[in-house]
Amino acid sequence: MTTFDLFRRAGVPAAAVALLSLTACSGSSGATATATATVTVTAPASPAEPSGNTPEASQAPSTSDAPVPAATTPAPRKTEKAGPPITAATPDVFGETFQSDPGHDFTKGLSPSRDGVLRAQLVTMQDENVAEYRPIRFVPEVGGSTNGHFEGPPEGDVMAFAAPLAKGVVFLSAVGCKGDDQTINSRYVGTQRCPRDKLILRADAGDLRALITVQRGQIVKVVEIYAP
């Protein structure tokens, strides 16, 4: 086995240079001849760098895997269910829904409700003749058909009216003209007729709940509901 074979088997590193001394003996003269050979061994090419991302890059979180916040759907706004429309018929004194005025444009300021009888509260007098009023409904409580209280539309609701009091307006009080009596019938509505100026005072105080009759844009009758 030659010296070259020994280097090859030993796995010479890349680009290593081995110097081999070869000795040849002359048969006749016995002189020694020395020959020096330079052998270059080339190592196989290094394996190619792996393609793709580095381990660090592969460990980075993908934006597509990031949690996406769920969309928030706003809760629908609660609206009042439209009650029966105002008509000439007398409504239930203790009705639990607001009467409606279909077609009335509440964006153009306060104006009279349609002709008919409205269960409402007189909240103020705009001047010495014009009364402002809002529809009301009865909220029952445990203990009987008349136990409870009246309430108007919620805050921010624009359902309100204003109309002049007719000169001959009829006012039937549930507490007497002096306000210290109980003048009602079996339906808990007023029976004692009081003058127009008493109606104006009660309306301006804002505590008068009544069945209000409107004809041709004027309030012609106010029948107070007994609501202690």
Mean pLDDT for 35-56 is 47
pLDDT in tens, 47-93: 444 444 544 444 555 545 555 555 444 444 344 556 899 999 999 99
Name the band, by pLDDT with cuts 50, 70 and 90, for residue 222.
Answer: very high
Choice among 18-32, 68-82, 107-121, 126-140 with the minimum mean pLDDT = 18-32
pLDDT recorded at residue 218: 98
pLDDT recorded at residue 62: 52
Mean pLDDT for 26-35 is 43
Residue 143 has pLDDT above 80, yes or no: no
Contacts of 81 (CB under 8 A, 6+ apart): 97
Residue 20 has pLDDT above 80, yes or no: no
Question: What is the distance between the alpha carbons of residues 226 and 147, in angstroms, rounded to a whole number?
Answer: 12
Residue 228 has pLDDT above 50, yes or no: yes
Question: What is the distance between the alpha carbons of residues 205 and 222, in angstroms, rounded to a whole number?
Answer: 15
pLDDT recorded at residue 66: 54
Average pLDDT, the chain: 78
Q: What is the CA radius of gyration of the chain?
A: 52
Mean pLDDT for 34-41 is 44
pLDDT recorded at residue 211: 98
Name the band, by pLDDT with cuts 50, 70 and 90, for residue 142.
Answer: confident
pLDDT recorded at residue 67: 56
Question: What is the distance between the alpha carbons of residues 95 and 137, in angstroms, rounded to a whole number?
Answer: 6
pLDDT in tens, 156-201: 898 999 999 999 999 999 999 999 999 999 999 999 999 999 999 9
